[in-house]
Amino acid sequence: MAPGDTAFSSCDASPTYSECVNNQGQSSDFEFSGGTSLSAPLTAGAAALVIQAYRNFHHGASPTPALVKQILTSTATDLGVPATEQGAGLLNSYKAVLLAESVKTSDGSPVPVGQSLLLSQNQLNAVGAPRTSFTWPVTVTNTSAQAQSVQVSGRTFGHTENVQTGSVTLNDTTSSQFLNAAGLLNNYALFTFKVPKRADRLNASIAYPGAPSNGLNARVRISLIDPQGRFAAYSIPQGVGNFGNVDVREPLQGTWTGVIFCDAASINGTNGTIPWQVSTQRFVPFGSLSSSSFHLAPGHSRTFRVMASTPSTPGDSEGSIVLTSSGGVDNFVGVERNSIPVTLRSLVNVAHKGAFTGVLTGGNGRNPGEGQTDYYEFNVDPGHTSITANVSLTNDIGDMVGAYLVNPNGVAVGFGQNSLNGTNTPSLTAYTLDPVSGPWTLIVDFASPVVGDEISQAFTGNIKLDDVSAKASGLPNSQATDLPAGVPVTIPVTITNDGAAPEAFFIDARLNTPTSLALAQFAPPASSNGYALPLGSTSDTAAPYWFVPTQTSSVQAAATATLPVEFDFSPFPGDPDVFGPPTTPNNAAGSYTPGGGTVQPGFWGAIPAEIGPYSGPALGGFVNMSLTSTTKAFDPAVTSAPGDIWLASLDPSVFGSFAPVTVNPGQTVVIPVTITPAGESGTVVSGNLYVDDFVAAVPPYGDTTGDELAAIPYSYTIK
């Protein structure tokens, strides 16, 4: 509700704060700020004003966090852009303070000031099968001293109209040039386009062939100038994403000018062909309402119902419920005052082909590669053995795509990427084994940068249950089977790649008995005393991290330091983020056990920090950390030529010898597995041969992990 476009913020110039500089690196009392770095402190400041105002008019009592949020969202100003861009609208601190001073609660009934409405809902969400109808009640309370007339309508954007396309060329030799605000030479090109009457939204996109290795100078930007010569929009690239997008609400009719520009190639800028596309949209009705208008006396409330349906195909749609009151914005009568965002998600039907589609555009290039992210939700009934999720691009296999299968407990347990052994492919496949029942989510991350030769491309996908082919002929699977100690038995494991992408298969042998494993530490500390605190204050180049194997039911982290310490730890993608609080003055511990299923496999890291306060700079000290995994024990009696990457959790050198077998879609491979029984006669051994695939660098974070496809049980008695 506080859109964070680039703006200026006040700042105490260096040497007070070294980052307070202008575009040319000179000390300045103003700095650029944008994104959540801008919107979060603005919203925090507004929340502080609301709390202060509420206390002043409610006998010193403090509002609950939920009420603070309700007040801020109820008074936000509708911007007339997609709900997914604006949320509730633009923060309006003044109106929020008036509402905080007027709202009646158990803390008091102050005399109303100003004109405002309190809304019971700040967002409406629904997930269901395609075309499923949902209904939500919304209560509106008039907190002002005057009667108010309220009009309610549902709004979204219709299909794309007036599509215009073209391209420009940026070239150091032939392009027009200017010096930008940082004093750097820029190439630029102009193009014009027409906007018709009564357009509610103008949307413009570019693609470009930038090289991220050239740094931020390779960013290509687009600005829009309206028919009266006024600046209207700027694409605000945060990195070299090879894509740019801007939109303008209520664009003027007439001839517009687009400006495409970039630093010169001589200073690592981008030269080449830059395709562009512009289009317009109009508002269309969204959903239906039980009331379109009503009159509210001072202090009175009215409840109306919102009805809307999920989209006709799997994926997401959005709309806004717009409220216009006689109070309006800043007392201007008849002005749209507030909107409630509505988000609707249609499920993928895994019982019937499980197909879905979408369109890839791109992101703004922010590191470490976050781009466009699409979510596809589906339900899994009890009793299924596996999930296979496939995603395929239409073209441009150089676009980096990652996938995460997230179970109902919020744990990512399946992963995919459209690259194997350094070679990109048009498709990816993510797997998981023995899925718990409930709602699952497939996250598809189109990481920046895209190739940059087109504005958009279609993609397709499907989600299948129980679609894995793996068997082990002759594998002992009974306690009645006797195997002599020390005598190797080789079993062929046959695997068919039924997915859409090449995979790197291997075998992971586990016993059915759980065990606690002290995981090996990657990036060990530079000092024998441990990691130096504060982190980064010495030659230590990284915080501690470990490789967590599959079949892990919980992890426990511990820190021992020379001074008070705490930490947080998480898998590399960052969710969950678990706190390790102090247990004694110089020790801390934390653990994570998901509600069901297993812990996310792959690398986990910890960030230890000393605890203040201090009278001066943070104190120096040392900390040692450990991570323990509660998991199924590895079976040392089972070996195979590819090796088992999960053994790297105990010995990092396994990465050097690991050699999974690459299998293309539709192909079958046989991996011989050798069992060499070891132990006392009469010992019963039982476990599973897990058929896994290695996933080396899942976009956008480059996480190294793996999937489980199948579990082939084995059992025997040592003779």
- Provide, rounded to the nearest whole percent, the portion of the chain with pLDDT above 70: 98
Per-residue pLDDT tens digits for 290-347 = 999 999 999 999 999 999 999 999 999 999 999 999 854 444 444 557 999 999 999 9
* Residue 42 three-state SS: helix
Q: pLDDT band at 7, cuts 50/70/90?
A: confident
pTM strictly above 0.85: yes
Task: Of 432, 380, 389, 370, give the one whose Cα is nearest residue 408.
Answer: 380
Task: Of 519, 521, 516, give the one whose Cα is nearest residue 623.
Answer: 521
Q: Can you tell me the mean pLDDT for 2-21? A: 79
Q: pLDDT band at 214, cuts 50/70/90?
A: very high
CA distances from 94 to 26, 47, 67, 626 (A): 35, 11, 16, 51
Looking at per-residue pLDDT, the higher value among 619 and 571 belongs to 571
- Cα separation, 719 vs 479, whole angstroms: 11
Per-residue pLDDT tens digits for 494-547 = 999 999 999 999 999 999 999 999 999 998 888 888 998 888 766 555 689 999
CA 356-372-250 angle, to 5 degrees, is 100
Per-residue pLDDT tens digits for 633-657 = 999 999 999 999 999 999 999 999 9
CA-atom Rg of the chain in angstroms: 30
- End-to-end Cα, the chain, rounded Å: 70
For the chain, domain boundaries: 35-158+285-346, 161-281, 355-468
Element (H, E) at 692: strand 684-698
Task: Of 379, 433, 396, give the one whose Cα is nearest residue 597.
Answer: 433
- Cα separation, 600 vs 551, whole angstroms: 9
The confidence score (pLDDT) of residue 181 equals: 85
The CATH number of 35-158+285-346 is: 2.60.40.10
Q: Can you tell me the mean pLDDT for 109-118? A: 91
The confidence score (pLDDT) of residue 541 equals: 59
The confidence score (pLDDT) of residue 420 equals: 94
Instruction: Centre a 10 Å sphere on the Cβ of residue 285 and count the other Cβ atoms it contains.
Output: 12
Maximum distance among all Cα pairs of the chain, rounded to whole angstroms: 92
Which CATH fold would you assign to the domain 355-468? Jelly Rolls (2.60.120)
Q: Can you tell me the mean pLDDT for 216-222? A: 97
The confidence score (pLDDT) of residue 329 equals: 44
The confidence score (pLDDT) of residue 334 equals: 46
Which CATH fold would you assign to the domain 161-281? Jelly Rolls (2.60.120)
| CATH topology agreement for domains 35-158+285-346 and 355-468 | no
- The packing angle between helices 65-74 and 93-102, to 10°, is 120
Reply yes or no on whether the pLDDT at 574 is more than 50: yes
The confidence score (pLDDT) of residue 370 equals: 79
